[in-house]
Structure formats: structure tokens, C-alpha cells
Amino acid sequence: MTVGRRRGEELEHALLTAAWAELLEVGYPKLTMDNVAVRAGTSKPVIYRRWPTKAKLVLAALAHYVPLQESDIDTGSLRGDLLELVGRGIERFRRVPGDTLPGLITDTFREPDVFEDLRRRFAQDETPELIRPLLTRAVERGELRTDRCSDRILRVPFDLVRSETVLYGMTIDDAALTEIVDDIVLPLFRLHCGTPANHTAPIAPATGR
Amino acid sequence: MTVGRRRGEELEHALLTAAWAELLEVGYPKLTMDNVAVRAGTSKPVIYRRWPTKAKLVLAALAHYVPLQESDIDTGSLRGDLLELVGRGIERFRRVPGDTLPGLITDTFREPDVFEDLRRRFAQDETPELIRPLLTRAVERGELRTDRCSDRILRVPFDLVRSETVLYGMTIDDAALTEIVDDIVLPLFRLHCGTPANHTAPIAPATGR
Amino acid sequence: MTVGRRRGEELEHALLTAAWAELLEVGYPKLTMDNVAVRAGTSKPVIYRRWPTKAKLVLAALAHYVPLQESDIDTGSLRGDLLELVGRGIERFRRVPGDTLPGLITDTFREPDVFEDLRRRFAQDETPELIRPLLTRAVERGELRTDRCSDRILRVPFDLVRSETVLYGMTIDDAALTEIVDDIVLPLFRLHCGTPANHTAPIAPATGR
Amino acid sequence: MTVGRRRGEELEHALLTAAWAELLEVGYPKLTMDNVAVRAGTSKPVIYRRWPTKAKLVLAALAHYVPLQESDIDTGSLRGDLLELVGRGIERFRRVPGDTLPGLITDTFREPDVFEDLRRRFAQDETPELIRPLLTRAVERGELRTDRCSDRILRVPFDLVRSETVLYGMTIDDAALTEIVDDIVLPLFRLHCGTPANHTAPIAPATGR
DNA sequence: CCTTAATCGAGACGGTACGTCGTGTCTTTAT
DNA sequence: ATAAAGACACGACGTACCGTCTCGATTAAGG
């Protein structure tokens, strides 16, 4: 049943695959180093040599199976860009087992380095860097007057997405995505980054209640 | 050394106190039923008779030590009410050890009943019920035209607070609170719930960048 | 479902019955005070008020359900008397669950009073008192010259029976009983208590090999 | 404090030693796997990997510390051989804590394989195999006519020893040993295995009462 | 007849041990 | 040198029973 002695990348890939499969099957709390080792057809020391804690292993699996999408976004309108960007974010969170991010937060809360890594990939830090280019292009197109606004404003769209997905375990459908962009994010951006006088974009809410 | 045989509420209180102390000292992941029992001067079966899982024990300790504050809010203005309400929420989250809520989410993710309980106390569900009365009074005062808007809009303030506290492990100071209310929440409420024509409240952002 | 509140002898009998039933069903090691209480439809303190240890409870149940048989034996011959007496002993041991006597010995080994009680009822002490009268009558009938011989000789028959039943968990059938009496016990008694010159009882072994 | 990580035989020996010490100190009923582990400076899983039950552990300790003595016996006379053999048996039982064999019997009564092992080492089975060679040599020397007699006869000496030691918790001194051999065992063997006509060994009892 | 005392039933308590599982380290053997 | 394999020390898990204690409810006996 042996596949021969693997090493290097091949072995690493087998481990991440095993970790990911365990994550999907039993969830973060019940994922064990033992089972990952067995599933990968290897032994625990091989895992510990690479990732000294369960959190680091899972974070590595997450980075491998739910990578950041770096491709540029340019749909021609700020609204289109935001729908695309936030939609991608929702899709990313959708692929992460619901107990995984809270589990990682819990386990890394007292380990600043890993917590920082986690944050960079799945939390706040991704937002400003991702969103500001959209605003910059919107200014170039004449949709906004400036791309200067506080980070907190920029974080709003993903804060809402994370709240619903990570904290509430909900899924966000297209209607909800539209509501977030049209009723919350776009108005805020227009308020804080200004709207040229002749621009006639609708500011009224898209959905009522 | 014995304190006599305790029962009922006295014993329960000792257990919740021990659990809370462990939570503060070692954090959620390292809190063990064994240590809670020892700290409370009792034994594990006594705990398990009341709370069959660590998550339920911790949630009970949380409900005991960080209770919902039900007292009414009426400062005379929507802005004042929001500052008070969101400020209270921030204070509540500040008192919860940072790894506790994510830990509870992780461990209860597959137990709908406990997860629901957790959500009711520390997540989404508290928001609409808490905020809508503020809007209703604002309408009565003539600050807004209507209190009808989608739940998602109502959730915005606490979604932002939770993102920063629970997910990022940050603390929110008064300046941040002011920014959230003045630059994000109030404008959104005014946009979606209308502003009477003669009302002259400032809509401009309070902070720039 | 309640039978009314019992007390005194009725309650005691219910407890002994429950203990005996547990003994038969699950055996001595798995008999628990808890289960006996439940089975008897009462509670543990009621048991402990009467028998402070499991061993004493079981010994009481044993004394109740496998009592000493005191009726006189007089078949007219020493051989007949021995067959009857040893046969009765075998029957008594047969009715005691196989793990019970060793269990009692183990648990009472360091409690001289209970151990003594156990020994009186199920071990060595019963032998000399029971057997010597048989010898006395045999002397009166002229089968033996004297009833004086060492206790160890008198204990032989029941030592053999106890070895096979208690220690080996075996059952002793009639053939084995006959062999014990004819090939071992009778010859020893005749050797040590003498045989009148004109007595013509067979001394040859009843069974060969 | 640590003795370094032990493995294999060294560790096994430490466990058996700890078990044996516990047996001597607190006796079979109060011997716990926990305490054995602590005493051996290791942990319970290490024990359970080797012996899944307390009975098997104790039996292993017994086999290690009270081994069967295989050395040949040849004193030149049947009486001498028996005194030696039975004396060795008494010595073996003397070294076993008094509650241990009954405890093992109790706990293994429903596990035929372990019970069998126990029986082979400390009960009936040892007897015929050990005694018959003595008879065979006695025949060769002309002390007996045949070595053919029933197993039950052969078991008599050790049945008596076991009764007194295991069941009564008594110790057997030299006088008692002599009585058993001279007054019970030798006469029975001579009766059932015959005595050559010209043999002038005394058949009269050595002790009276 | 009614009070009083005793004991029943029910079950929680402080505690010990169980047998299992997971962690992170270490040793051994084989590649 | 590192992989595979697995044992090791450790500690926590959740459960079972122990023997004790508290608390009404019920019963029997005595005033």
C-alpha cells in the first residue's frame, strides 16, 4: 500500500490535502494531527517538522486551497467592480468550513505571528489594499472626486461579509450582495469620496422594507 | 479546608466563577473541565450534570458575567442614543476574553441549539431588536421620516463592532466609536429612513483621511 | 408504579432479592450498590444503613438464598452419610455464582470479622462440626473404632469440593462425588479411625484409571 | 527526576515491579492502574497497550515474581520427593498476597482465556504433570507397583494446600506439611498405586489427635 | 386523634478510578 | 540525512460508582 517514500513538495502536498479533507469532513475542532498523518500515509513527526501547531497546518492548507485571488478587476464602473470584488470574497469564505476561521482565531489569539498571518489572508488587512485601487479608477473615470477616505470606511464591505459568514455561519446570496453594495457600500463611498456635480448615479436605496 | 457541602445555586455560582477565572487566566482553548472542577473545589461530574460540554459551561459563565444590559436608552437625540448603545456593546465585548467568542463559535458550529443561544446573546440577533426602538423614537422626535428599513442596515453598527473586536481582537476607543456612528451609521440611517426637509443635522463626515 | 413505602423486613427482603438477582445476572465484580438500589426500587442509603459494604450485602444475600442445611443425616452407613453430606455441600456450592465466593474472599481478606463470617458459612469451619457426628455414629454402629482424628483429615472432603468448585469453577457430578467418597475420604477415615477386625467393608478403590 | 525514556523490556519490567509493589502494599482490590502507572513513572496507555485489564497485568506480575519452579526433584524416596514438591508449592503460595488469587479468579471467571492461564499457573493443571513423574520414579525404585491412578487422586495434595492458603488465608508450617504428606497423600498413593509385598514402609499415621 | 419521630425515596455531592484519545517528543529502522 | 513507523510521557476527556449528605414525603408510634 506504500506509494514509495515521498519527500519535499510531494509529501507536503499530500499533507495539506489530508488536512483539507479532514477539515471538510470533521471540521476544525475534531481535526487531529494523528488523523491527518494517517490520512496522508505518513507519521506525525513529518507534520511537526513543517508546522509545529495544528493552527499553522490548517492555515497552510487554507492558503493552499483558498488562495487570494490577485487578478485585476476592471468592469468599467465602481458598482460593477465592487460587486465583483465582494462577490469573490463571499465565494472565498463560502469555501472555508464554517468552524475553521473562528477555530484559527481562537488558537492563534495569543500567538501574534500566526494571528497576523491569518489576518493578512482572511481579515481586515486584505480590504484596504484591495478596495482602494477600485476607488482610484473610479476617480479617473469621474465617478468619485477622491479616493481618500478612512480605512474604516474601506473595511465596511468585508466587515459585513465576515460578520455574516464567519460569525453567523450564514451564506450570502446574490440579492444580499446587491443590497450590501447598493444600499450600504456605494452610498458610503459617495458620501465620503464625493460625487461630481454632473454625475447622475442613483443614490436611492435599491431595496426597501 | 472544606467549605462544607454546597448545593444548588451556591455551587453553581462557584462553578461559573471558576470557569470565568480560568477563561481570564488561560483563555478558552486551555480551559479544561478538570481545572474548573479543581478551582471550584468540586469534581467533574458536578459540572457535567449541569453543562454537558465545555461550550455550554463557558456560555453560561459568559451570560453570568457579561449579561445583556436591558436598561432603556433615551438621550434625546438619535446620535446620542447610538453612541450610548454601541458604546455599551463595545464595553460588553471588551470584557469577553478575546479567544472566547471565536472558541464558542467553533465548538458550537455543529450544534444548532447552542449556536443559536450564542447568537442571541452575542451576535446578530441582539441588533435589530435593540436598534429599532431608537429609530422609532427618532421618528417621533422628527429626526427621521420612518423606522422601516432592512435588518441588514440595522445590523451594520454591531457588525462593524464585532468584526473589529471578535475577529481582529482589537479594542475600539471613543474616537473610533464616534467615527462609526457619525461617518457610517447615521448617514446610512438618514439615507434609508429619510430626513425631514427642515432638519439641519450635519451629514458631512466627521473625520477625514 | 410505587408499591407503597416499604420498611422493615419487607424492604430488607426486597434488597436481598435484588442483590441476588444482580449476582446471578452480572456476577460479583459488576454488582453495584447503585444497581441493587434501583432494582429494589429504593435508594443507596437504605442499603448502607443495613450493610456498610458490598461484601456484607452479598454475604447476607448468600446466607438468605443458600442457607446452611441443618437437618440431620442418618442413612445407616458411614458411606451413605458421607455421600449425603458431601452431596449437599456440592449442591450448595453449585447454587452460588462462581465468582461470588472468590470475590467475597478478596474483599474481606483484610476485614477479619466478615472473613470469619464467610468462613463459618462457606469454608473450613463447617466441616469438622458437620462430619464428626457422622464418625461418632459410625463408631456406635461398629464401622469405626474411634472418632478421634485430626481436623485436617476431617476437612479433606470439603477441601476437595471447594477446590474444584470455588477455585476451578467446575461442577462435580455424581460419579465424581462417588470417587471422592470411596477412593479418598472413606479410606482415609478407616486408616485414621481404625476398622474393627471383623468388618468387611471394601477398601479397594471404586474407580481405576 | 526523569530516568530517560524507557522502552521495551526495561519499561515492562518497571511496570511489573510497580504492580507487584502495589499488590504487596495495598492488595489486589485497591490496586489501580493509575497508581501502578504513577509508581512506574509512566502513564496508563503504556500499561493498557500491554495488558488490557487489571487481571492480566497482575497475572503477568505474578508470573514474573512467583514463577513456576521447573527444577527436577529426586530425593531418593517418594516421601522425600513429595515433601519437597508440596513444600515448594506452599512456598509459592506464601509469596502471593492473600487476596490476589481470589481476586484474579473473580475477575477472570467470565474470561475463559485468562482464567485458563491462571489455572495453568496456580491451580489444578500444575498438579498431575508435576506429581506423576514422582510416582513413576517411585515405581522404578520399587516403592509403588504402578503410577496409574486418577487425576483426582493426584490433585489431592495441592487441593489441600490451595484450600488452606487461597481460601482460608492460612499459612502452612512444616508440621502441617508433614501431616499432609504422611497422613493423607502417601497413604492414598500407596492404596491406589499399590505397595510391593516386601516393601516395609510404615503406613501408620504419623500424627494422631 | 393528632402530633412527633423515624425512616423512606430520591437524588446531588465530593471524590476516585476508569479506559480512551490527543499532543508533542523521541527512538529505531529502512531508504 | 530524512522518511516511515510507532512507542513514550503527559494530560484531559467523559463516565461509572463509591459512600455521604440533604431534603421532602410518608408512616408508625406515643401522648
Nucleotides on chain F within 7 angstroms of protein Cβ: 2-23, 26-28
CATH number of the domain that residue D85 is part of:
1.10.357
Q: Which residues in B lie closer than 8 A to residue A162 (C-beta atoms)?
A: 163, 167
3-class SS shares of chain D: helix, strand, coil, % to 5: 65, 0, 35
Regarding whether A160 and A78 lie in a shared domain, the answer is yes
Three-class secondary structure of residue B153 per DSSP: helix
Q: Which residues in D lie closer than 8 A to residue C176 (C-beta atoms)?
A: 152
Question: What chain D residue is nearest to C106 in terms of C-alpha separation?
Answer: D99
Partner-chain contact C184 D98, CB within 8 Å: no
Q: What is the pLDDT of residue C180?
A: 95
Regarding whether B86 and B165 lie in a shared domain, the answer is yes
Q: Which residues in D lie closer than 8 A to residue C162 (C-beta atoms)?
A: 163, 167
Check pLDDT > 90 for residue D70.
Answer: no
Q: What is the pLDDT of residue B122?
A: 76
Check pLDDT > 80 for residue C201.
Answer: no
Asked whether residue B202 is assigned to any structural domain, the reply reads: no
Partner-chain contact A123 B192, CB within 8 Å: no
When the pLDDT of each residue in chain D is averaged and rounded to a whole number, the result is: 86
Q: What is the pLDDT of residue C126?
A: 64
Contact A106, B106 (CB under 8 A): yes
Q: What is the pLDDT of residue D61?
A: 94
Q: What is the pLDDT of residue A5?
A: 62
Partner-chain contact B27 A191, CB within 8 Å: no
Check pLDDT > 60 for residue D205.
Answer: no
Regarding whether A59 and A74 lie in a shared domain, the answer is no
Question: What chain A residue is nearest to B153 in terms of C-alpha separation?
Answer: A184
CATH number of the domain that residue A60 is part of:
1.10.10.60
Asked whether residue C78 is assigned to any structural domain, the reply reads: yes
Q: What is the pLDDT of residue A83?
A: 93
Q: Which residues in C lie closer than 8 A to residue D160 (C-beta atoms)?
A: 152, 155-156, 159-160
Regarding whether A46 and A83 lie in a shared domain, the answer is no
From residue A183, give the alpha-carbon distance in Å to each of A80, B153, B189, D125.
14, 8, 11, 90
Asked whether residue C198 is assigned to any structural domain, the reply reads: no
Q: What is the pLDDT of residue C9?
A: 80
Average pLDDT estimate for C176-190: 95
Show pLDDT as tens, one digit a residue, over chain A (209 residues).
445 566 677 888 989 999 999 999 999 999 999 999 999 988 899 999 899 999 999 999 999 998 877 678 889 899 999 999 999 889 888 899 989 999 999 999 988 888 888 888 876 556 777 888 888 999 999 898 888 888 889 989 999 998 888 888 788 999 999 999 999 999 999 999 877 654 444 444 444 33
From residue D115, give the alpha-carbon distance in Å to each of B118, C197, D134, D197.
54, 48, 27, 44
Contact A186, A207 (CB under 8 A): no
Q: Of B40, B64, B88, at which residue does a domain stop?
A: B64
pTM for the whole structure: 0.85
Regarding whether D98 and D50 lie in a shared domain, the answer is no
User: Confidence band (pLDDT; 50, 70, 90) for D67?
Assistant: confident
Regarding whether A79 and A140 lie in a shared domain, the answer is yes
Rounded to the nearest angstrom, the minimum Cα separation between B2 and chain A is 36
Do chains B and A touch, with touching meaning 3 or more CB–CB pairs less than 8 Å apart? Answer: yes
Residue D166: which residues within 8 A CB-CB, separation 6 or more?
C105, C167, D93, D98, D101, D102
Asked whether residue A201 is assigned to any structural domain, the reply reads: no
B116 CA to F16 C1' distance (Å): 32
Residue-wise pLDDT tens digits, A163-173:
888 888 788 99
What's the domain count of chain D? 2
For C72-78, which contacts have Cβ atoms below 8 Å and span 24 or more sequence positions?
Answer: C73/C134, C74/C137, C76/C141, C77/C141, C77/C143, C78/C134, C78/C135, C78/C137, C78/C138, C78/C141, C78/C143, C78/C144, C78/C186, C78/C189
Q: What percent of chain B has pLDDT over 90?
A: 46
Q: What is the pLDDT of residue A208?
A: 39
* Longest distance between any two alpha carbons in chain B, whole Å: 72
Location of C-alpha cell 422594507: A209
CA distance C158 to C167: 13
Residue-wise pLDDT tens digits, C99-146:
999 999 999 998 888 888 888 887 655 677 788 889 999 999 999 999
A3 or D142: which leads in pLDDT: D142
Question: Would you give the end-to-end CA distance of chain C in angstroms?
Answer: 61
Asked whether residue B153 is assigned to any structural domain, the reply reads: yes
DSSP state string for D163-187 = IIIIIT-----HHHHHHIIIIIIHH
Partner-chain contact B150 A102, CB within 8 Å: no
Residue-wise pLDDT tens digits, B12-62:
999 999 999 999 999 999 999 999 999 999 999 999 999 999 999 999 999
The answer to whether A39 CB sits below 7 Å from nucleic acid chain F is no
Contact A85, A74 (CB under 8 A): no
Domain interval for residue B167: 70-193
Tell me how many residue pairs between chain C and chain D have CB atoms under 8 A apart: 137
Residue A136: which residues within 8 A CB-CB, separation 6 or more?
A147
Regarding whether A153 and A107 lie in a shared domain, the answer is yes
Residue-wise pLDDT tens digits, B113-165:
888 888 888 765 567 778 888 889 999 988 988 888 888 899 899 999 988 88
Regarding whether B175 and B109 lie in a shared domain, the answer is yes
Q: Cα–Cα–Cα angle for D61, D64, D68, nearest 5°?
A: 125
Check pLDDT > 80 for residue C71.
Answer: no
Partner-chain contact A27 B109, CB within 8 Å: yes
Q: Which residues in B lie closer than 8 A to residue A29 (C-beta atoms)?
A: 106-107
Q: What is the pLDDT of residue A65?
A: 92
Q: Closest nt to A52 (CA→C1')?
A: E24
Contact B112, B160 (CB under 8 A): no
Regarding whether B183 and B130 lie in a shared domain, the answer is yes
Contact D192, D88 (CB under 8 A): no
Asked whether residue C145 is assigned to any structural domain, the reply reads: yes
Cell digits of residue A32: 487531529
Contact D139, D78 (CB under 8 A): no
Helix (H) or strand (E) holding D152: helix D151-162
Q: Closest nt to C6 (CA→C1')?
A: E8
Residue-wise pLDDT tens digits, D92-141:
889 999 899 999 999 999 888 888 888 888 765 567 778 888 999 999 99
Contact B21, B15 (CB under 8 A): no
Partner-chain contact B153 A203, CB within 8 Å: no
B170 or B50: which leads in pLDDT: B50
- In SS3 terms, chain C reads as CCCCCCCHHHHHHHHHHHHHHHHHHHCCCCCCHHHHHHHHCCCHHHHHHHCCCHHHHHHHHHHHHCCCCCCCCCCCCHHHHHHHHHHHHHHHHHCCCCCHHHHHHHHHCCCHHHHHHHHHHHCCCHHHHHHHHHHHHHHHHCCCCCCCCCHHHHHHHHHHHHHHHHHCCCCCCHHHHHHHHHHHHHHHHHHHHCCCCCCCCCCCCCCCC
Tell me how many residue pairs between chain A and chain B have CB atoms under 8 A apart: 140
- Tell me which chains share at least 3 CB pairs under 8 Å with chain D: C
Q: Closest nt to D3 (CA→C1')?
A: F9
B10 or D35: which leads in pLDDT: D35
Rounded to the nearest angstrom, the minimum Cα separation between B84 and chain A is 20
Asked whether residue B75 is assigned to any structural domain, the reply reads: yes
Partner-chain contact D109 C124, CB within 8 Å: no
Asked whether residue A172 is assigned to any structural domain, the reply reads: yes
Write down which residues 18-57 in B have CB closer than 7 A to strand F. Answer: 32-35, 43-45, 48, 52-54
Regarding whether D136 and D84 lie in a shared domain, the answer is yes
Regarding whether A167 and A133 lie in a shared domain, the answer is yes
CA distance C22 to C7: 21
Regarding whether D118 and D58 lie in a shared domain, the answer is no
Question: What chain D residue is nearest to C155 in terms of C-alpha separation?
Answer: D160
From residue A98, give the alpha-carbon distance in Å to each of A95, A117, A171, B177, C204.
9, 19, 10, 29, 88
